[in-house]
Amino acid sequence: MAVGAFADRGADLELVGIEKRFPGFTAIENLNLTIPAGSFFALLGPSGCGKTTTLRLVAGLEEPTSGRILIGGADVTNQKSFQRPVNTVFQSYALFPHMTVLENVAFGLRRRKIGDPVAKAHEALLLVELDHLAHRKPQQLSGGQQQRVALARAIVNRPALLLLDEPLGALDLKLRRQMQLELKTIQEEVGLTFLHVTHDQEEAMTMADTIAVMNKGRIEQMGEPQQLYELPKTAFVANFLGQSNLFTGPVVSTTSTAIAVDVSGQKIVVPLERAHRISGEVTIGVRPEKLTLHAEEPTYNAGRNTMGPGKVIDVSFSGVSTQYLVAVPGVGTLVVFAQNMAFGPAAHVGAEVWLSWNVEHGFGLDDDPADAPRFEADLDTKTIAQQRRSSLVTELEEA
């Protein structure tokens, strides 16, 4: 990037055949990705999926084992971090503790010898509404304020590409929501390309135009948030992005518009254009909020799939909705989210119920069912506790 001048707009980011191996394991294998200029792109995945490594490769903090990185069409693979037109909002913010907020924000401008760094730094601080704290030290600010300074320090440079490394992870829920909206607004205002790395699916869905779900060093699926949610391609996406009820069975008949799958003797129909596989053993699924509970067996309706009878084994109230766990013999445990339209639950533990959903809401996965284990609801507290613990352990190890 030319010293002394700003990039006038965001630039495309292109990753071509990127591979990154560390001693003992491969963090990323054959990654190809194009992020169009001016978009808000989220890289979503669990810890250890390679998303942070991807970000560090783009920032120039790591070198790829093979492959090329292009920003705005120019190959930057061999450029050092400080030569790239890229800035990062670090997960820990990494605000220099020995400088004031203003000096922090002006740091990059001074290094690039851009005129009037102090005035520009003040402008950036005004944008994040923190100009009144310009002369404080970072340690004297709250977490949310530090986060905004880190953002100002990055965007003041008008980078062609802004990298966000889970920048909201340390904030509490309410502040996080507020910052999500602010970030989105700022991105639209300044028109830069944002690459946001996160493990928080809600955050990714709220903010990003496009999401790439990453798992084990590969991109599982990429698309608009709604598309990813409504039509997941793999079991991993179906479960990482929200929850899903998944069933496995052979395709028993195919018409020009739909396939029918035999799930433990119950015939489930999925529209053809929503099914990634249309013959042999397939995995199909439906989102929990698309299910309707019935106290009696519903009458046959060509537009709806029915399953049951099953037994309610758990009811948990969460304000807006109530979550039911329904055990259906031969199929497994299904999750149902029901809006609380009336007072009191629609069914009690032990009740016999039937479930139905609109055929249009089902989806068929691309996974080979032989590869993916049959889905089990992972909603019991034990699993959640285990996940929390293992994520805590990795966090501690990283620290």
Partner 1 sequence: MKLSLGKWLLPVYSGLALLFLMIPIGYTFVYSFNDSLKSNITWRGFTFDKWLNVCNVQNGAVCQAFGNSLFIGAVATVVATTLGTMIAIAIVRYRFKFRSQTSLLLFLPMATPEVVLGAGLAAQFLSLGVPKDMLTIILAHTMFCISFVVVTVKARVASLDPALEEAGRDLYGSAWQVFARITFPLLLPGILAAALLSFALSFDDFIITNFNSGAVTTFPKYIYISAARGIPAEANVLASAVFILALVVVVTVQVSGAAKARRLAKLT
Partner 2 sequence: MAFAAFSTATAPSTDSVARRRSPVALFLLLPGILYLVLFFLTPLVSLLLTSFQTPREFGDIGQYDYAFRWQNYTEVITTYWPHIVRSFSYALAATFFALVISYPLAYFIGVTARKWPLLQSLMLVLVIAPFFISFLLRTLAWKQLFSDESFVVQSLKALSLLGPEAHVTGTAFSVIFGLTYNFIPFMTLPLYTTLERLDVRYLEAGNDLYASPFQVFRKVTIPLSMPGIVAGTLLTFIPAAGDYINASRDFLGGTGTQMMGNVIEANFLVLQNYPSAAALSIILMTVILVIVSIYVKRSGTEELL
Distance of alpha carbon 334 from alpha carbon 147, whole angstroms: 40
SS3 206: helix
Q: Closest CB to partner 2 among 95 and 207?
A: 95
Give least dist CB 250 to partner 1, A. Answer: 45
61 touches partner 1 (CB under 8 A): yes
CB atoms within 10 A of CB 126: 13
22 touches partner 2 (CB under 8 A): no
Distance of alpha carbon 336 from alpha carbon 347, whole angstroms: 11
Contact stretch for partner 2 (CB under 8 A) within 31-39, 65-73, 94-102, 323-331: 94-102
Residue span 70-99 as binding mask against partner 1, x where in contact by CB under 8 A, dash where not: ----------xx------------------
82 touches partner 2 (CB under 8 A): yes
193 touches partner 2 (CB under 8 A): no
Give least dist CB 355 to partner 2, A. Answer: 49
Alpha helices in the chain (DSSP H): 51-59, 101-111, 117-127, 143-155, 173-190, 201-207, 225-230, 235-240, 381-398
State the chain's maximal CA–CA distance in angstroms. Answer: 74
Q: Closest CB to partner 2 among 2 and 320?
A: 2
Q: How many residues bind partner 1 (CB under 8 A)?
A: 4
Q: Closest CB to partner 2 among 117 and 310?
A: 117
DSSP 109-164: HHHTT-S-HHHHHHHHHHHTT-GGGTTS-GGGS-HHHHHHHHHHHHHTT--SEEEE
Chosen residue from 126, 295, 385, 393 binding partner 1 by CB under 8 A: 393
301 touches partner 1 (CB under 8 A): no
102 touches partner 2 (CB under 8 A): no
Residue 41 partner contact from partner 1, partner 2, none using kind-dependent CB cut-offs of 5 to 8 Å: none
User: Which DSSP state fits 46?
Assistant: -
CB-count exposure of residue 157 (10 Å: 0-12, 13-18, 19+): buried
53 touches partner 2 (CB under 8 A): no
Distance of alpha carbon 204 from alpha carbon 41, whole angstroms: 9
Six-digit token pair at 343? Answer: 């007072």
Nearest Cα to 99, choosing from 69, 83, 121?
121
392 touches partner 1 (CB under 8 A): no
Residue 382 partner contact from partner 1, partner 2, none using kind-dependent CB cut-offs of 5 to 8 Å: none
CB-count exposure of residue 334 (10 Å: 0-12, 13-18, 19+): buried
Nearest Cα to 368, choosing from 286, 281, 284?
281
Q: Closest CB to partner 2 among 118 and 260?
A: 118
Chosen residue from 13, 28, 43, 59 binding partner 2 by CB under 8 A: 59
Q: Closest CB to partner 1 among 181 and 392?
A: 392
385 touches partner 1 (CB under 8 A): no
Residue 393 partner contact from partner 1, partner 2, none using kind-dependent CB cut-offs of 5 to 8 Å: partner 1
Q: Closest CB to partner 1 among 57 and 134?
A: 57
Give the interface with partner 2 as residue ranges (CB under 8 A). Answer: 59-61, 80-83, 86-88, 90, 92, 94-98, 107-108, 111-112, 153, 157
Give the interface with partner 1 as residue ranges (CB under 8 A). Answer: 61, 80-81, 393
